[in-house]
Structure 1
């Protein structure tokens, strides 16, 4: 009797397993196909979502002043963002592209001019002699130096030109991300409900709200207190450098942005710029004083911006945010820098919450906000 039922049971189990495998394979194929279609827009959509989550409380306050017109408030916010942020960013990005292109062209044409190193360079500890020797060779016989470094320089030039070519696409994505963020904010309440439903589906009914709150608080803390402060200060410093007529304002702004994310004081940037103004001999006394004051004010702007924007602590360590920014920039360009910092901070928060125990709420959790402020 048992021998008669075993083949039937095996057949049923086999058919059931085959049915499950076919369904799983079809779902996997659908996921892969959808990802392939959506992947070109992934970075743009993630940055638009980060912008929407960060700006939504301000959007709600603006909508209240406009008679609760969500669409009009989102449109006004997007236009202001494009004028105040995208415009200066486009100017500095264009300057960065011009600087890189000019440097690569001059290097290939052997028209670069490098000043002789000071004798004090050779007295630097550990690396002084080596730096002095390389610098002296580059200053006295630049063509031979370039020839000796040709393989490395060729790779650097290709990477630099590739970066310049991607800047136009990056700026277009930057503008589109503001537009998409405006659409998300205009439909913030349905977006909030969808986000909480997805969180509940992934984490369970009891922890879905905690997960959504954790992600929202982390995004706003990183975007406002770290990326926002660094980005605004980099724009101010870059524009000040351009007004002062100092070479390569786009490069200086990019360095200021990276250092700002790493929480390194902007004095590392503006003090050499001030020294250049007073030592170059190209500035009269009155303009030099004015440009110095402008650089100092823009360089110290983070002292004002941080109390305004950093309303809550950032639980993720600064190295995590810096690694996320640099890794995102390498993989996805300028937008990837902002997206990578926020995503890696969220991943760190979730991992540490899992290590600490059952609750997902950060240790220094942000104060509870209203339903509308939590959206989208």
Structure 2
């Protein structure tokens, strides 16, 4: 009786201490999450480096981390800086009246009266839409300028978080396999099940981050290039916006280039508008339709509709991190149910 009481009390304290430790690490969950994601993505690279230089884990982890910084971190920081600069410039143009968001709706409404009549049948008034778009554009640009200023003022905090992420990534690259084996021994789910879950976690993380980022970079670059060639202001800004929106499967970058093409149709620039529509549908859209199923759906072994809904739900609940965590939760959901069906719902053979 005393032994059972001691065991229960120990398990209770184990849960309490684990929750307290999680709360202590709560301010750094973003750093920890992305350190784990980068480790999973670059772990195959680290293994190749190990084979090339021999059994030198410290040196292999350092080389892999330097490759990560050169390939991913520095380009992202450069694009982010250009995005912030163009965002502030775009806000200044709206404040000075050089860009009029309300005129955007007026031009489309005058050029396409059928659309106005169609929307009015469903109780949607374009006057209210115009005001909302104008105020929304001002608020969005003001928020962007404010966040840019905040990032500039909190440069030390941002650099500290980045350094902590890279520091943890180094140790995870060096000792990650030992930590996985330790967790397999500690968790009471059965070693075979735990290895399957960890394998699925790595598979989904690698496919989701790598696949979505490749699709985002390709679509954002293609969108920014065509906007620059057609002379639209702030092409880097709109390219980055299309890259972020491309995290939403099926719609994505079309939320930017389609309204712009409608505006050019409305203002009489038929040639430019037709070029943008053809380029958006055939080039930008085709990149999404080809790359996303190959890089995300195939590697995660998730249906396209499940990838779409889990990505949208993850972004809604968890922000930017949700585009990885959403499909990961969906994949683990399927794995747990597959284990349940295979192990608990098998028909029992008669003795």
Measure the CA separation in 1 of the matches of 2:263 and 2:127.
Answer: 24
Mapped partners of 1:278, 1:81: distance in 2: 44
| Residues 276 and 73 of structure 1: CA distance in aligned 2, closer, same or farther (over 3 Å) | farther
Secondary structure of 1:207's counterpart equals: helix
Matched, 1:126 2:121: no
SS at match of 1:117: helix
Q: 1:233 to 1:102 in 2, by over 3 A?
A: same
Report the equivalent of 2:333: 348
Q: Counterpart in 2 of 1:8?
A: none
Q: Which residue of 1 aligns with 2:34?
A: 47
RCO higher in 1 or 2 (8 Å CA, sep ≥ 6)? 1
- Hey, what's the Cα distance between the residues in 2 that align with 1:257 and 1:309? 17
Alignment deviations for residues 246-299 of structure 1 (CA, whole Å, 9 cap, x no partner): 434335423333324515575775677789999999xxx9xxx9xx99x98787
Asked if 1:212 is matched to 2:213, the reply is: no
> Does residue 185 of structure 1 match 2:179?
no
Contact 2:247 2:323 in 1 (8 A): no
CA distance 1:137–1:70, shift in 2 (3 Å)? closer
User: Which residue of the partner structure matches residue 347 of structure 2?
Assistant: none
Assess, with a 3 A threshold, how the Cα gap between structure 1 residues 22 and 176 changes in structure 2: closer, same or farther.
closer
1:358 matched to 2:334? no
| Equivalence for 1:9 | none
Shift of 1:161: 6.6
Q: 1:107 to 1:236 in 2, by over 3 A?
A: closer
Whether the aligned pair in 1 keeps the contact of 2:293 and 2:304 (CA below 8 Å) is no
RMSD: 4.9
Question: Which whole-Å deviations, capped at 9, do the CAs of 1:3-54 have from their partners, x for residues lacking one?
Answer: xxxxxxxxx78x965x566545533432232112111122221222122122
Deviation for aligned residue 1:209: 2.7
SS of equivalent residue, structure 1 residue 214: helix
Distance 1:48-1:324 versus aligned 2 partners, 3 A rule: farther
Supply the distance in 1 between the matched residues of 2:160 and 2:305 (Cα, whole angstroms). 29
Are 1:31 and 2:18 matched, yes or no? Answer: yes
Aligned partner of 1:366 in structure 2 is: none
Which residues of structure 2 form unaligned runs of 5+?
Answer: 345-351
Give the equivalent residue in structure 2 for 1:221.
207
Q: Report deviation, 1:59.
A: 2.4
After TM superposition, the structure 1 stretch with the greater mean CA deviation from structure 2, 295-304 or 44-53, is 295-304
The answer to whether residue 74 in structure 2 is matched with residue 87 in structure 1 is yes
How many matched pairs?
325
Q: Structure 1's 101 and 240: CA in aligned 2 closer, same or farther, altered over 3 A? A: same
Give the 3 Å change call, closer, same or farther, for CA 209–230 of structure 1 in structure 2.
same
For 1:265 and 1:341, how far apart are their aligned partners in 2?
17
Is 1:72 the counterpart of 2:72? The answer is no
Q: Residue 76 of structure 1: CA displacement?
A: 3.0
Distance 1:80 1:313, change over 3 A: closer
8 Å contact kept, 1:74–1:186: yes
Identify unmatched segments of 5+ residues in structure 1: 1-11, 360-376
- Counterparts in 2 of 1:201-280, with a 5 A limit? 201-224=187-210, 226-234=211-219, 236-237=221-222, 240=225, 244=229, 246-248=232-234, 249-264=236-251
**Structure with the largest fraction of helix:** 2
**For 2:299, what is the secondary structure of its paired residue?**
coil
**Deviations 1:167-221, CA, capped at 9 Å, x for gaps:** 96668646653553343223344244334334xx331134333333333333333
d(CA) in 2 for partners of 1:258 and 1:221?
18
Looking at structure 2, the residues matched to 68 and 304 of structure 1 have their Cα atoms a distance apart, in angstroms, of 39
Whole-angstrom distance in 1 between the partners of 2:128 and 2:176? 57
- 1:194 and 2:194 equivalent? no
- CA distance 1:16–1:297, change in 2 (3 Å): closer
Retained in 2: the 8 A contact 1:231–1:257?
yes
TM-score (norm 1): 0.63
